[in-house]
Chain A
Amino acid sequence: EVQLVESGGGLVQPGGSLRLSCAASGFTFSSYNMNWVRQAPGKGLEWLSYISNSGSSMFYADSVKGRFTTSRDNARNSLFLQMHNLRAEDTALYYCVRGICTTCDTGRWFDPWGQGTLVTVSS
């Protein structure tokens, strides 16, 4: 069974840092690009970042560019999101998602999704 399990969320003060992790299982992790998507309480979905299967290419949403960094360890089947200078508006449930494409000359859709890890930014 393909599974993604996020961890590392919690309460952090504004300006603080946090590192999220995602443990992948049930598929060949090194063959797939991975993404982070978040959902603020009661709100919709926001794509945050993409990392290629090799880790050589990354893209970010403007809202987190320069503050968040995504990385991966293919040997450990793990994805990470390092978050710095956190703001109240970063409060959300953070999902690890596998990106899927066919011809891959366009972007990716997401399947499956982890259950998410909650980040709360508050003093």
Chain B
Amino acid sequence: EIVMTQSPATLSMSPGERATLSCRASQSISSDLAWYQQKPGQAPRLLIYGASTRATGIPARFSGSGSGTEFTLTISSLQSEDFAVYYCQQYNNWPPLTFGGGTKVEIK
């Protein structure tokens, strides 16, 4: 099973700042990585797949990068609606499909 590790667990940021979230895979997963955003009381929403391709309707301030075992989600300028929990998910080697533990982006 591929273990996904996200860091940090919590990121305290101010609106307008640049946020950088990390996701590490326990073995190479090529670019088979997705990112999701989950707001309180809501279902997760797909942001990124293929490590760097934005899903339909996702603002350009969200960008993904990386391959192999190291991945990054960057939010270029945090908006109020971006404060949420973010999860990465690998789909290279399955079953099982596995998620990281999440990074909470909170308002400083």
Instruction: Please give the residue numbers on chain A whose beta carbons come within 8 Å of chain B beta carbons, in ascending order.
Output: 35, 44-47, 50, 59-62, 95, 100-102, 106-116
Contacts and interface: CB of A to CB of B under 8 A. Distances in A.
Interface string B77-95: 0000000000101111111
Contact of B95 (A46, A50, A111): A50
B43 interface: yes
A5 to B, nearest CB: 11
A111 B102 contact: no
Q: Which of A46, A109, A113 has the most CB of B within 10 A?
A: A109
A106 to B, nearest CB: 5
Interface of B: 30, 32, 34, 36, 42-46, 49-50, 55, 87, 89-102
Given A47-B96, A60-B95, A109 B46 contact: yes
A107 B32 contact: yes
14 contacts: A35-B97, A44-B99, A44-B100, A45-B36, A59-B94, A59-B95, A62-B96, A101-B91, A106-B30, A107-B92, A107-B93, A109-B89, A110-B34, A114-B43
Contact of A61 (B34, B96, B102): B96
Contacts of B98: 47
Nearest to A50: B95
A40 to B, nearest CB: 12
Contacts of A113: 43-45
A4 to B, nearest CB: 9
A116 B43 contact: yes
Contacts of B50: 102
